[in-house]
Structure formats: C-alpha cells, structure tokens
C-alpha cells in the first residue's frame, strides 16, 4: 500500500463539513488570514512561489507567478479584481463542489488572502448554475463572516452562471460576468492587465484558492515538501466510471494511478477488466492499461505519457465500452458546448461527431480515420480558446491507441460489440436537438467529397 499522506484542503473535516463559523474558528480558522494581513503583497507572492502551488483548474500555471503579473495599483489606476472560477464543468470533475460544500470558510478565507496578494478589495466567485446547493452553502458562510465583520472592507460577490461549459475558460468567464454571452476573448491583452471591466484581474480556480489558506498556515516551504518535484502538494482527485469506489480523494501529487484505481478505488467491479483511463478530465488523451501501470498522478509523469493531469478527473473505462461510441459521446459534448465564435471549432466538432457516427453505424471507410485526424489538425491552434483543440486531441488519442477497434468497425461494417457496449444507445443533448430540428443542416462528408 502506497502512503496516502495528510489531507490539506479537507484537513480537520473527518470526512464531514464545516459550515458554521464558530466551528471553523474553534478549529483554528482565520489564522492564515491574520498572518497574511501582516505581510506585504510581495511577501505573499513569495510565499506562494515557495509553495510551488500550480493552478488546480487544469492549466497548472504557477499561482504565485499569476498574481505577480497583476500590475501594482500605481501602474494601472483602476480597481483590481480577483475572480474565482467555480464553473467546474469538465466531464469527470466534481472536486470543487465538494470543496465548497465541506470547507466553505477555508475557501472564502483563501479568497481574502488572494485579494491581498493582488491588492484587490473586490472578489467575484463565478459558480456554475447547476451547483445550487453549493451556492447556498457559500451564501450562508459569507453571511456569517459579514455578521462578524471578517471581510475587512473587501467585498465578495457570489455570481451564478447559467449552464455553459465554455465559461470555465477564463476570458469567456469574464465576458459572462460582464453580462455578455460567454465567448472567449482574443489574448493579449491577458486578464492580469485587462480582465474584468478591462481592469487588472487574477482568475483562480476554487481548489487553488482553498489551498492558499493552508499554505499560509503551514508555510510555503513546508507545503512544497508534499508531492513531487514540479507538482508539489496534494490534489483532490475525482475518480469515476467503472470503478468500485468512485469519489473524491485528496492525495499527494505523484501517487500511482494504478494504486488509486485498484487500491483506494477498489478495482474494476463485476469481474470486468480495465480497457482505458481518461486521466485529467474528458479533454485529455486516453491511456491504455499498460500506460496506466506506469502513470503517476503528477504533471511530469502524465505529460511524459502524452496526456495531461488537467482537472485531475480520472474516468475508468472497462472492457464493455466501445471506443467509437466513447468518441461519439465525447465529441457530442464539445459540439454542444462550442460557443460558435471560431469557425474551426464550431464546424470541426460537428464534423467529428458525424464522422464518428458514420463509423459506428458501419458506413465508414478506411479514409475516415485519416479524415478524423485531418479535421482535428485543422482545429488545433486555430481558435481563440482550447475547447476545440482538446476535443480533437482526445479523439485523436482514441484513434491512435485503439486503431484496431476503429478498423473493425469499417471492416465488419458495424460495431463489433453488436449492441452490447456499455454506451449503446446513449442519448446526448445534441441528439435531442437533431430530432427536433432540421435533420441534415450540414453534410460535411458530401461537401468534402
């Protein structure tokens, strides 16, 4: 059994939640904030840099460096903003909601500390609309803090989204928060210079902010002893799919993936065998069982395997799953969530779905495999945000690693699972739209031919 290490984000909860202020204070709450208020912004950034904390939303950008990019108030005479990205929507990911439900004060304390770090007195938390109960827990926590005058002149606004995956992308989130359609902006300028209301803005993920609090409690250098080089500290891993004990598990970075699935996760149920693992949310490249055996849950290990730690969402897939059906369903998600601003993504995600559906239906040809890759290459790097890129990278990895199964669909003229796949018949929102609208609005395959 591999050492699990201490919980940091969920420390002191004993598996439960701390939603009353008195309980949080009794457990030592707000010592980090008091410490931070005695420090200069530069000292706070230095503490974060010493911790090695990197963004937990998916991009893994060093948090202290991000704060240091926000200009000093005397350089840009506008209000500075801290925006917290609580729009958790990456399929497979459900960690931020558990953080907000179980340690709301640790999170809100982190907001106040981060605001000090970028010399801001205005915090906006953009929380996905589907997380209604999480929003209520934060409202209750914030009211208690206001009643005891703990905000120190800083305002925190809890802003609810309304259902759009794209708003997890930081510039789309800022557009949405400004009361517009959530469509990504051109960068530069970067949010640090011209973010919310064109003012200097830091955008941080919920888990990153909730980790700032314990970093100030224990000290950055001490935090950096957890985890591994380049991936310090702990991470809340979301484990889902065909595994006996799905759930959120806070573990040190570097933990072996196999041990998470077979040890902590209890293995693959119902006597099935492992077919594949998506390691960092649905937009990361898939891993084969042989790769899973080598993988450690940190940035360098997963990057070395050609994938990414992403949002630390591990989706376990057993041998009943048809990989082409998996591709269809993933592609449908990105097609549904593409904001429509950039043509390659808007059209490419749609084409990818249609090509994969054609293969699944047994009408595919060998050339369709190349066409899938070709469409992906036309999307990659040609859009304002990575939504389309990541969809294409994920699909391309299925084709590359399960090519024989794709070929079987072509050569057998149909799905080799013969209706027995675990994803057989799964209905996506785009299927419902198609059923209620004009059937064939675009015919990419005919157009291409």
**Binding-site member from 63, 120, 232, 240 for another protein (CB under 8 A):** 240
> Rule CB under 8 A: is residue 133 a binding residue for another protein?
yes
Among 337, 386, 334, 358, smallest CA distance to 445 is for: 358
Task: Report, in Å, the least distance between residue 5 CB and another protein.
Answer: 20
Task: Report, in Å, the least distance between residue 445 CB and another protein.
Answer: 25
What are the residues facing 81 on neighbouring strands? 122, 201
Chain-centroid distance, C-alpha 84: 13
Query: Dihedrals φ, ψ of 47, to 5°?
Result: -65, -45
Task: Report, in Å, the least distance between residue 419 CB and another protein.
Answer: 12
> Rule CB under 8 A: is residue 273 a binding residue for another protein?
no
Count of other CB atoms within 10 angstroms of residue 439:
6
Task: Report, in Å, the least distance between residue 179 CB and another protein.
Answer: 4
Count of other CB atoms within 10 angstroms of residue 157:
12
Which C-beta is closer to another protein: that of 118 or that of 317? 317
Tokens representing 262?
């077979």
Which C-beta is closer to another protein: that of 65 or that of 336? 336
Q: Is the dihedral of CA 328, 330, 331, 337 positive or negative?
A: positive
Whole-angstrom distance, CA of residue 351 vs CA of residue 356: 9
Question: CA-based diameter of the chain, in Å?
Answer: 70
> Rule CB under 8 A: is residue 346 a binding residue for another protein?
no
> Rule CB under 8 A: is residue 157 a binding residue for another protein?
yes
**Binding-site member from 51, 85, 93, 204 for another protein (CB under 8 A):** 93
Residues 242-271 that bind another protein (CB under 8 A): 242, 246-248
Which C-beta is closer to another protein: that of 119 or that of 217? 119
Which C-beta is closer to another protein: that of 441 or that of 449? 441
| Secondary-structure percent of the chain, ordered helix, strand, coil, rounded to 5 | 45, 15, 40
Stretch that binds another protein, among 131-139, 201-209, 369-377, 404-412 (CB under 8 A): 131-139
> Rule CB under 8 A: is residue 162 a binding residue for another protein?
yes
> Rule CB under 8 A: is residue 404 a binding residue for another protein?
no
**Binding-site member from 2, 25, 27, 130 for another protein (CB under 8 A):** 130
Task: Report, in Å, the least distance between residue 330 CB and another protein.
Answer: 7
Residues 312-331 that bind another protein (CB under 8 A): 313, 315, 317-318, 321, 326, 329-330
Whole-angstrom distance, CA of residue 341 vs CA of residue 152: 41
- For residue 150, CA distances in Å to 144, 153, 155 come to 9, 9, 11
Residue with tokens 């926000």: 70
Among 351, 266, 277, 263, smallest CA distance to 319 is for: 277
Residue 306 near residue 370 (C-beta atoms within 8 A)? no
**Binding-site member from 10, 30, 107, 131 for another protein (CB under 8 A):** 131
Which C-beta is closer to another protein: that of 224 or that of 322? 322
Which C-beta is closer to another protein: that of 159 or that of 363? 159
**Binding-site member from 239, 287, 312, 384 for another protein (CB under 8 A):** 239
Residues 409-438 that bind another protein (CB under 8 A): 422-429, 431-432, 435-436
Stretch that binds another protein, among 6-14, 104-112, 209-217, 236-244 (CB under 8 A): 236-244
Which C-beta is closer to another protein: that of 25 or that of 424? 424
Which C-beta is closer to another protein: that of 122 or that of 185? 122
| DSSP conformation letters of 232-279 | ESEEEEEEEES-SS-EEEEEETT-BHHHIIIIIT---STT--EEEEE-
Among 181, 108, 195, smallest CA distance to 150 is for: 108
| DSSP conformation letters of 166-219 | GGGSHHHHHHHHTTS---PPPSSSPHHHH-GGGS-EEEEEHHHHHHHHHHHHH-
> Rule CB under 8 A: is residue 92 a binding residue for another protein?
yes
Task: Report, in Å, the least distance between residue 402 CB and another protein.
Answer: 15
Residue 53 near residue 59 (C-beta atoms within 8 A)? no
**Binding-site member from 146, 181, 366, 418 for another protein (CB under 8 A):** 181
Interaction site with another protein (CB under 8 A): 79, 88-94, 97, 122, 128-133, 157, 159-165, 176-182, 197, 238-242, 246-248, 278, 282, 313, 315, 317-318, 321, 326, 329-330, 333, 336-337, 339, 422-429, 431-432, 435-436
């Amino acid at each position: 059994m591999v050492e699990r290490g201490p919980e940091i984000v969920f420390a002191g909860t004993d598996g439960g939640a701390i939603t009353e202020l008195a309980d949080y204070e009794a457990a030592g709450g707000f010592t980090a904030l008091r410490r931070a208020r005695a420090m200069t912004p530069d000292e706070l950034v230095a503490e974060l840099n010493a911790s090695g904390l990197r963004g937990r939303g998916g991009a893994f950008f060093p948090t202290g460096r991000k704060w240091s990019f926000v200009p000093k108030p005397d350089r840009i005479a506008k209000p500075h903003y801290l925006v917290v990205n609580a729009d958790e929507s990456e399929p497979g990911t459900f960690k931020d909601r558990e953080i907000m439900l179980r340690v709301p004060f640790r999170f809100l304390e982190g907001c106040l500390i981060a605001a000090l770090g970028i010399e801001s007195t205005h915090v906006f938390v953009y929380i996905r609309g589907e997380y209604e109960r999480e929003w209520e827990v934060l409202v209750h926590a914030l009211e208690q803090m206001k009643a005891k005058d703990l905000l120190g002149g800083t305002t925190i606004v809890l802003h609810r989204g309304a259902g759009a995956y794209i708003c997890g992308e930081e510039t789309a989130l800022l557009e949405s928060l400004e009361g517009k359609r959530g469509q990504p902006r051109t960068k530069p300028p970067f949010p640090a210079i011209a973010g919310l209301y064109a003012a200097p803005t830091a955008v941080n993920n919920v888990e990153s902010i909730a980790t700032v609090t314990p970093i100030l409690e224990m000290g950055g250098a001490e935090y950096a002893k957890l985890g591994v080089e380049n991936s310090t500290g702990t991470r809340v891993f979301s484990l889902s799919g065909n595994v006996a004990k799905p759930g959120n598990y806070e573990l040190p970075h570097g933990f072996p993936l196999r041990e998470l699935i077979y040890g902590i996760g209890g293995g693959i149920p119902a006597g099935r065998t492992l077919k594949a693992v998506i390691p960092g949310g649905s937009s990361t490249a898939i891993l084969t069982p042989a790769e899973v055996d080598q993988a450690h849950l940190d940035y360098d290990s997963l990057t070395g395997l050609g994938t990414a730690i992403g949002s630390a969402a591990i989706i376990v897939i057993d041998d009943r799953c048809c990989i082409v059906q998996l591709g269809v369903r993933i592609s449908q998600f990105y097609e549904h969530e593409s904001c429509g601003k950039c043509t390659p993504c808007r059209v490419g995600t749609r084409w990818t779905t249609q090509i994969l559906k054609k293969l699944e239906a047994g009408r595919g040809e060998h050339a369709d495999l190349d066409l899938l890759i070709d469409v992906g290459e036309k999307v990659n790097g040609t859009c304002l945000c990575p939504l389309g890129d990541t969809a294409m990278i994920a699909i391309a990895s299925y084709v590359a690693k399960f090519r024989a199964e794709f070929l079987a669909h072509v050569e057998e003229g149909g799905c080799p699972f013969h209706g027995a796949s675990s994803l057989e018949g799964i209905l996506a929102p785009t299927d419902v739209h198609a059923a209620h609208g004009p059937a064939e609005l675009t015919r990419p395959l005919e157009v291409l031919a």
